[in-house]
Structures are given as structure tokens and as C-alpha cells.
Amino acid sequence: MNRVIKRSFIVILVVVLFAAGVFGYYFSLTLNGEGWMSYPANKHIYTNGVLTKAGAITDRNGVVLAKTENGTRVYNSKKSIRKATIHAVGDTKGFISTGMHSAYLNELCGYDAVNGVYNLSGKGNNLELTIDSSVSVAALNALGSYSGTVGIYNYKTGEIVCMVSTPTFDPNSNDTPSGKGVYVNRLLSGVYAPGSIFKLVTALSALENINTATTMHFKCNHGVTIAGEWLSCLGRHNNISLDSALKHSCNAFFAQTALELGRGDLTATAEKVGFNKSLKMDGIPCATSKYEVSDSNDIDFGWSGIGQHNDLVNPYQYLCFMGGIANGGESISPYLVKKITDANGRTIKKANRDSTKMMSEKNATLLASMMRNNVKLNYGDSRFKGLEVCGKTGTAEVGDKSTPHSWFVGFCKNEKTPYAFTVIVENAGAGNGAATRIAAAVLKTLK
Ligand SMILES: [Zn+2]
């Protein structure tokens, strides 16, 4: 009898261990399956550690940006297209973590948690992107030898038509890519001092929190004294209003407006338009824009209101902010993947539409009209013929000896070209110079 009990016990133990093993394996597969699938030793999709078996990546017009041919991953035949789109498409070794080859690896290879890699023929899923390769090449050419980024998206639909980052490289070249941060997509992963483009946040906060915002005046005597320290302005603007101050980019006005608002209200507005948040583009995490003044003294807080002190801006966050102003306060989230189709051409995933209410329609309209005046008065409307561009430049100081970064942000009001844009050009001098010139060159290629 004892022997029977003992044997039964052993059988039960074996069954329990087997069940636990199956459960453990299943649990582990669910958790780690994607990681195992994309592990470079998996020869189904990788050859010698390089991604080879995945579907095609095309632009909005069907131009092939990358595809698998005879077991090899090949890019577009034109060097300019390869260089202009590599940060969006990604390299096959995974150095560009935000590129499609890394961020959408599972989708490209046709992986799902239930079936594993269900297509081993080398034909994964195809990604149709929203970018336009010819607009991207125009941005690459306009940036020239500068480091920087040009981001453009349709603020009514969310489609990103241009996402170019320099320095860049040709994935077909055997040379090791050179240039500082060559694998970084500056639109998604860069952060920069904003300079005067931050005045749009301070202006919006004034409209939201100060009843007399559109009629109030502050004094500017080539600057202003705050808490016994001097905050300089490039002009002597005397008694100046919000509308004029944005047109002339008056430091004294916006520093005093920041102090009038207080740290809490200005921070709240900044956070509503995307500061201090981890934004995502199509599920890909972006660098965070920072506005942090809780421990700042009055002069530093004054400087923060004009985009200096420790303010930091991620270009993608500003793209969303510009979209919010352009679209009556409602920012449609930009996206890059238009749709995913399987090897038989069936659509298996479409872009998710998402939006954020950033400001009231009234304040969006007020800001837009001030930005429109800005372009007419300062930047030369004829350079943006027919586009009805609304914009703001920024010149971001980056230490005493370096040439400042050049910013231009804004959007086209024309209904036929509903695009918002962010342009930053590193060490290129004043915003109304390199950045406006590059924006004009690229925007005129939009249809
Ligand atoms: Zn001034």
C-alpha cells in the first residue's frame, strides 16, 4: 500500500511539474517572444546579424525606401533619397533605434504573439509611410552641410510628410558614418535651448491667465531691470503691447509677462502644450521638452519666459504645438506609419488618430494672427508665396563662443497646404536667416 501511495505521489508530482513547466514556458514566451524573435541569432530573419527578411517600406507615393531582394535588404537606388530618409527608415543593424527597421521590426517581419514568425518565406509585412521622399530630399539639400532637422506634418490629418535629420549617411556606403550624433533622429530625439520661440508659450499663458493681455503694456529700455539685475533686449521698444512685442521679439515685455503670470501659471501652460511630458510618435518615445522654474530666482525666471535659463525643447514637441495653434487649439498627433499590409496585400493595421486639446479656439486664433503679422513684417511674405505662413523665429544661445542655433517654427494657414513645421539649424546664427531660408526652400515643394 505504501508503495502505491509513493508511486501515486511521484506521478502527481511529475504531472504538477509538467503543468508548471508548460505554464512557465507559455508565460515566458508571452513576455519574451518578441525579444527572442528579433534576437540577431534568429536566422529566419537575420543573416550574419543584419536584418534581411522583412517587408517593403514605401513612402506616401509608393516609392520604395527599403525592401528585401534575394535575401538581401536593399534601399532606394538614389543616394539623395537614401540619405534623406535613413532616420525614418532606420539602418539594418539597429543603430537608429527610432527608425522603422528597429521600432517596427515585429510588424515588418510579420510577427505576432500567437503564431510567432508566421511567414518564413522572407516576405514580411509592408509598411507604407506618410513621408514624401521628394520633399525629404528638398529638406536634405536645404540643410546642406548644417546639422539640424526639418519636420513637417499635415495638422488636419496628422501625416508627417518630412522628417529629415542631419548629419546623415548613405546606408549603401561601406564607410563608417561620421558626424556628431549621426544615428540620432534630431526631430524625435534632439533637445535644444528654444530662444525666442518660447515666447509663444509665454504669449499663450498671458492670453489664458491675464484678462488685459491684449491691451497691457510693459516698458522696454533696451532691456529691463529685474530684482536688481539687467535683462537685455535687442531693441528699445518703450511702452509695448503683446502684439507688438511678439512682432519685435521684445525680451523685456515677455520677461515681465512671465513675472506677472508667476511660475505656476506659466508652467501649467507649458505643460498643456507638451513640456515635461514623454511624448510618443507612433509609439516611439521622444526626448522630453523641459520647463522647470520652481526653484529659480526672479531674474532666471524672467529669462525662462524668453526661452533662456534652463528651458529645453524637443523639435517634435514644438511640431505638435504648432499643429495645435494651426488647428484651432486641437493638436492632431503626428504619425509616420500610414498602414501595414501583409504579403497578400491585406491591410492589417491603419494609423490611429489621436489628438490633444491644447488651448481654446479663441486663443489659437489670436496667436495665429500675431504669428501671421510676424511673417508679413519680419520674414518677407513673398518668400512663402501663397502659403499664408504664420511663424516665429528663435536664436538660441549655446555658450559664449559658439554660434547660436537658428529656429523657425510655424504653419501654413492656406487650406490647400495645411502643414505645420519645425526647423532647427545648429550653429547657424539668427533664426531669421538659415532657418527661415531652409523652411522657405522646403515649404514651396509642398503640394
Ligand atoms: Zn524690447
| Beta bridge partner(s), residue 424 | 149, 407
Q: pLDDT band for 10, please (50, 70, 90 cuts).
A: low
Q: pLDDT band for 430, please (50, 70, 90 cuts).
A: confident
Q: pLDDT band for 115, please (50, 70, 90 cuts).
A: low
Q: How far is the CA of 252 from the centre of ligand 1 (A)?
A: 5
Amino acid identity of 180? Answer: K
Q: How far is the CA of 256 from the centre of ligand 1 (A)?
A: 11
Mean pLDDT of the chain: 89
Tell me: pLDDT of 379 over 60: yes
Tell me: pLDDT of 378 over 70: yes
213-226: average pLDDT: 97
State residue 52's pLDDT score.
66
Task: Enumerate the domain spans of the chain.
Answer: 195-335+354-443
Pairing state between β 57-58 and 126-129: parallel
Amino acid identity of 219? Answer: K
Q: How far is the CA of 218 from the centre of ligand 1 (A)?
A: 9
Cell numbers found for residue 71: 535575401
Q: How far is the CA of 134 from the centre of ligand 1 (A)?
A: 41
Q: How far is the CA of 244 from the centre of ligand 1 (A)?
A: 10
Q: How far is the CA of 240 from the centre of ligand 1 (A)?
A: 8
Q: How far is the CA of 257 from the centre of ligand 1 (A)?
A: 12
CA neighbor of 338 nearest in space, from 166, 128, 172: 128
More confident position, 7 or 316: 316
> Would you call 352 exposed, middle or buried from its count of C-beta atoms within 10 A (0-12, 13-18, 19+)?
exposed
Q: How far is the CA of 395 from the centre of ligand 1 (A)?
A: 15
In percent, the amount of the chain with pLDDT more than 70 equals 85
Exposed e or buried b for every residue in 278-311, given b needs 16+ CB within 10 A?
Answer: ebebbebebbbbebbbeeeeebbbbbbbbbbbeb
Q: How far is the CA of 239 from the centre of ligand 1 (A)?
A: 9
Tell me: pLDDT of 14 over 70: no
Q: How far is CA 208 from the centre of its chain?
A: 26
pTM of the model: 0.88
State residue 126's pLDDT score.
94
Q: How far is the CA of 315 from the centre of ligand 1 (A)?
A: 26
264: left (phi over 0), alpha (psi -120 to 50) or beta: alpha
Q: pLDDT band for 270, please (50, 70, 90 cuts).
A: very high
Q: pLDDT band for 2, please (50, 70, 90 cuts).
A: low
Q: How far is the CA of 45 from the centre of ligand 1 (A)?
A: 60
Cell numbers found for residue 394: 528663435
Q: CA–CA distance from 364 to each of 333, 368, 370 (Å)?
A: 17, 6, 10
CB atoms within 5 A of ion ligand 1 belong to 220, 233, 235, 237, 250, 252
| Of the listed ranges 73-77, 268-272, 342-346, 385-389, the one predicted with least confidence | 342-346
The angle that helices 315-326 and 199-209 make with each other, rounded to 10 degrees, is 40
Q: CA–CA distance from 371 to each of 237, 238, 286, 366 (Å)?
A: 19, 21, 26, 9
CA neighbor of 232 nearest in space, from 296, 295, 299, 298: 299
Tell me: pLDDT of 15 over 90: no
Q: How far is the CA of 249 from the centre of ligand 1 (A)?
A: 7
Cell numbers found for residue 175: 564607410
State residue 8's pLDDT score.
59
Q: How far is the CA of 220 from the centre of ligand 1 (A)?
A: 5
Q: How far is the CA of 243 from the centre of ligand 1 (A)?
A: 13
More confident position, 116 or 322: 322
Q: How far is the CA of 307 from the centre of ligand 1 (A)?
A: 15
Q: How far is the CA of 81 from the centre of ligand 1 (A)?
A: 44
383-389: average pLDDT: 95
Alpha helices in 190-297 (DSSP H): 199-209, 242-248, 251-261, 263-272
Q: pLDDT band for 7, please (50, 70, 90 cuts).
A: low
Q: How far is the CA of 179 from the centre of ligand 1 (A)?
A: 38
In DSSP notation, 284-349 reads EE-PPPB---TT--HHHHHHHTTT-TT-BB-HHHHHHHHHHHHTTTEEEPPBSEEEEE-TTS-EEE
Q: How far is the CA of 195 from the centre of ligand 1 (A)?
A: 15
Q: How far is the CA of 302 from the centre of ligand 1 (A)?
A: 13
Q: How far is the CA of 238 from the centre of ligand 1 (A)?
A: 7
Q: How far is the CA of 362 from the centre of ligand 1 (A)?
A: 26
| Of the listed ranges 178-187, 199-208, 346-355, the one predicted with least confidence | 346-355
* 3-state DSSP assignment of residue 40: coil
Q: How far is the CA of 345 from the centre of ligand 1 (A)?
A: 59
4-10: average pLDDT: 58
CA neighbor of 115 nearest in space, from 126, 106, 128: 106
Amino acid identity of 186? Answer: R
| Of the listed ranges 10-14, 189-193, 238-242, the one predicted with least confidence | 10-14
State residue 47's pLDDT score.
54
Q: What are phi and psi of 62, to 5 degrees?
A: 85, 5
State residue 242's pLDDT score.
97
CA neighbor of 423 nearest in space, from 152, 98, 85: 152
Q: How far is the CA of 321 from the centre of ligand 1 (A)?
A: 25
24-73, pLDDT tens digit by residue?
A: 444 443 444 444 444 444 545 555 444 667 899 999 999 999 999 888 88
Q: How far is the CA of 217 from the centre of ligand 1 (A)?
A: 12
Asked if 296 and 305 count as a contact pair (C-beta separation under 8 A), the reply is no
State residue 46's pLDDT score.
58
Q: How far is the CA of 323 from the centre of ligand 1 (A)?
A: 28
Q: How far is the CA of 248 from the centre of ligand 1 (A)?
A: 7
State residue 71's pLDDT score.
80
Rounded to whole angstroms, the Cα distance separating 424 from 187 reads 9
Q: How far is the CA of 246 from the centre of ligand 1 (A)?
A: 10
Tell me: pLDDT of 118 over 70: no
State residue 398's pLDDT score.
85
In percent, the amount of the chain with pLDDT more than 90 equals 75
Rounded to whole angstroms, the Cα distance separating 402 from 205 reads 31
DSSP 196: G
More confident position, 260 or 51: 260
214-234: average pLDDT: 97
Cell numbers found for residue 319: 511640431
Rounded to whole angstroms, the Cα distance separating 426 from 147 reads 5
Q: How far is the CA of 434 from the centre of ligand 1 (A)?
A: 23
More confident position, 77 or 400: 77
118-144: average pLDDT: 87
CATH superfamily of 195-335+354-443: DD-peptidase/beta-lactamase superfamily (3.40.710.10)
